Amino acid sequence: MSPRLDLVLDAALAAFLRYGVKRTAMEDIAREAGMSRSSLYQYVRSKEDAFARVRERMFARAVDQAAAASGAHDGPVEQTVAVLAVKLRLVASVHRDSPHAREILAEHDRSTAPGQDALLAGLAGILTGVLAPLASASPLSAQELAEVLLALTRGLEHDLDHPDRAERLLNETVRLLLAPLEETA
């Protein structure tokens, strides 16, 4: 990705966080990027294109961070906690930074589903690998364990008025669910 496109996507994200997706205009993104609207069109075709690219980049970075977090910890339980914390922190940061978080992170919107699907697939892939050693001690496969733990995380994302509490609940619940499997695997 070119530095100039990165600048445009950073500007678009700032505008979306400030005004929401529906109220953001290409003029807002151009102003935030310090360029003319006609120059902006060299990098993105429309506000919708900018939004899709912002989400795609945000989610790709989250998958990269989750992979790095997994590699920075030992043992499947600690690795799982680290991967899921990346997802929870991503959502918490958008909630913290914008009153338009639900619109930006909308999972139910057909236009944003592909990016969200790619994020969940990337995280599920990492978690499936991390959880593979525990699957022999579980009635669930590693993939099913990953799906359940991602669903748990998504549930905690619905109430982020207290993000520290959500992260504590995530950590404790993952340990509660996986520690017995780790002991018998």
* Nearest residue to 177 via CA among 119, 143, 137: 137
> Do 144 and 128 form a contact (C-beta atoms < 8 A)?
no
Reported residue count of the chain is: 185
Domains of the chain: 47-184 (1.10.357)
Q: What is the tens place of the pLDDT at every residue in 123-148? A: 999 999 999 999 999 999 999 999 99
Q: What is the tens place of the pLDDT at every residue in 98-110? A: 999 888 887 545 5
The CA distance from 20 to 104, in Å, is 7
Q: What is the tens place of the pLDDT at every residue in 78-92? A: 999 999 999 999 999
Q: What is the tens place of the pLDDT at every residue in 3-31? A: 999 999 999 999 999 999 999 999 999 99
Q: Is the pLDDT of residue 111 over 70?
A: no
Q: The tokens of 18 are what?
A: 């400030």
The CA distance from 74 to 160, in Å, is 28
> Do 136 and 130 form a contact (C-beta atoms < 8 A)?
no
- More confident position, 1 or 16: 16
Phi-psi region of 61 (alpha: psi -120 to 50; beta: other; left: phi over 0): alpha
pTM over 0.85: yes
